[in-house]
Structure 1
């Protein structure tokens, strides 16, 4: 079924009879501050029109640079980027809906269908057995989220019987970029001899302008506390090896 998520009337017809509406649509990365709001607003109005619960797929950008790691889902949002501000406003609008709303927040994606900094920047070089470059501190532990775990968490959240108007973190695995790079290479029978962290001038020269404001996510450890999702929703993180294997199936 296809529908324009900015058209609340059309989306309402598609959603008629639904108990839950999942807002997982994506705007083009550099257009988040303009294009995301009509999508979210149309989805909210459709959920309200049919009386369905609303589950929004979000991320960690809203916590900003000052979010203390490990990040907890009850921490205040304090964005320092335009994309983090867009995500924060989206959740605020969803939370004000006349139907119950929950946000499911993920970190950087691995797995089938994943489009992430890792899949775009590092993975092609790993597959081609070339020197690998990434961003930030390559030895800083980082949270990685499996797309299949995202789906399981979304479904579990739709059945949540506790108080809504809150967020959950998708259970994730933690590894530094270097660990992820070398583990991925090992699964391909490769030995990565060299890794490099792009400087800001290098990122600018390579056209990575939209990534620059988000590099803080990789400059220090980014850990995610998902204990409430594990306890209240009954979901667990898959192994890092399973995440990598599923990612590679998309690219080989």
Structure 2
């Protein structure tokens, strides 16, 4: 049995802690507000990951620290770096490995599809630049590091463009408006599959300082909306593409910055994850059912 620390009590962090405890490990889940988690073997400690001294004290004896914390979407350039820095310093102080929960933003708009975890990062957005710098900070640390990169989430508690922009209108049987192409194929990562990938990556016996992609399912916004409507036993609502001008008019600058992810096909190569970590993607139907748990 090993000891692990999970930083960040969002849906992925909480599921990661639960899976580790299920394996019989000693686990601490920490964030500024941990709340409650349904797993007897998981201890929760309220702590600020930017405080490296405090996090190092919590992490004494840990095999690995999972960095699953999330910063406010519009504050990534200011809020994410102190969290990453505190995590790395705590890991170096305690000689713990680092497993980072990341995403695909760092590859940039010009990346070749399907995205390979071995491809160099070449961000073309502020958020992608932030993610790239965060990974470089972990990869250059004195301890081994792995980054698990997910696409847009589906799952219970997931907060993504689809859950924020499409799902509320769908639930009200109103026209669904979404930024980007409605018909471009897009990768969807299940929160529980992401946690499985994080846990499996922590046990990886190969060479670290590398990335793994979360195995995902694929559907365009139109197809995904149709499947959600079917699961709800609704008629599929009308769909329309939100223009850049409309996003700018309402001040949704993050949507303007990142809409390239939906304007073009987004396909990820997760073959390494499947072959080396033994993780495969859950069905899209299961992802949809879990996403709707909070809405039925």
TM range (shorter): over 0.9
Q: TM-score when scaled to structure 1?
A: 0.98
> In structure 2, how many angstroms separate the alpha carbons of the residues matched to 1:28 and 1:103?
20
> In structure 1, how many angstroms separate the alpha carbons of the residues matched to 2:153 and 2:242?
20
3-state DSSP of counterpart to 2:46: coil
3-state DSSP of counterpart to 1:213: helix
Residue from 109, 119, 125 that aligns with 1:65 = 109
Contact 2:179–2:244 under 8 Å retained in 1: no
Cα distance change, pair 193–120 in 1 and its aligned pair in 2 (3 A): closer
> In structure 2, how many angstroms separate the alpha carbons of the residues matched to 1:244 and 1:124?
14
> In structure 1, how many angstroms separate the alpha carbons of the residues matched to 2:234 and 2:251?
28
Cα distance change, pair 124–193 in 1 and its aligned pair in 2 (3 A): closer
> In structure 2, how many angstroms separate the alpha carbons of the residues matched to 1:16 and 1:23?
16
1:141-180 to 2 correspondence within 5 Å? 141-180=185-224
> In structure 1, how many angstroms separate the alpha carbons of the residues matched to 2:254 and 2:261?
13
Structure 2 gap segments, 5+ residues each: 1-44
Deviation at 1:207, TM superposition (A): 2.8
1:1-252 to 2 correspondence within 5 Å? 1-252=45-296
Contact 2:65–2:99 under 8 Å retained in 1: yes
How many equivalent pairs are there? 252
> In structure 1, how many angstroms separate the alpha carbons of the residues matched to 2:295 and 2:91?
36
Contact 1:3–1:14 under 8 Å retained in 2: no
Deviation at 1:13, TM superposition (A): 1.0
3-state DSSP of counterpart to 1:168: strand
Structure 1 gap segments, 5+ residues each: none
3-state DSSP of counterpart to 1:250: helix
Q: CA RMSD for the aligned pairs? A: 0.8
Contact 2:179–2:255 under 8 Å retained in 1: no
Listed one character per residue, the Cα deviations across residues 90-113 of structure 1 (whole Å, up to 9, x for unaligned) are 000100010100000000000012
Deviation at 1:205, TM superposition (A): 2.1
Listed one character per residue, the Cα deviations across residues 198-252 of structure 1 (whole Å, up to 9, x for unaligned) are 0011112233121111000001100011000000000000000000100000223
Q: TM-score when scaled to structure 2?
A: 0.84
Greater relative contact order (Cα < 8 A, sep 6+): 1
Deviation at 1:192, TM superposition (A): 1.8
> In structure 1, how many angstroms separate the alpha carbons of the residues matched to 2:141 and 2:276?
23
Deviates more, 1:126-135 or 1:230-239: 126-135
Contact 2:154–2:288 under 8 Å retained in 1: yes
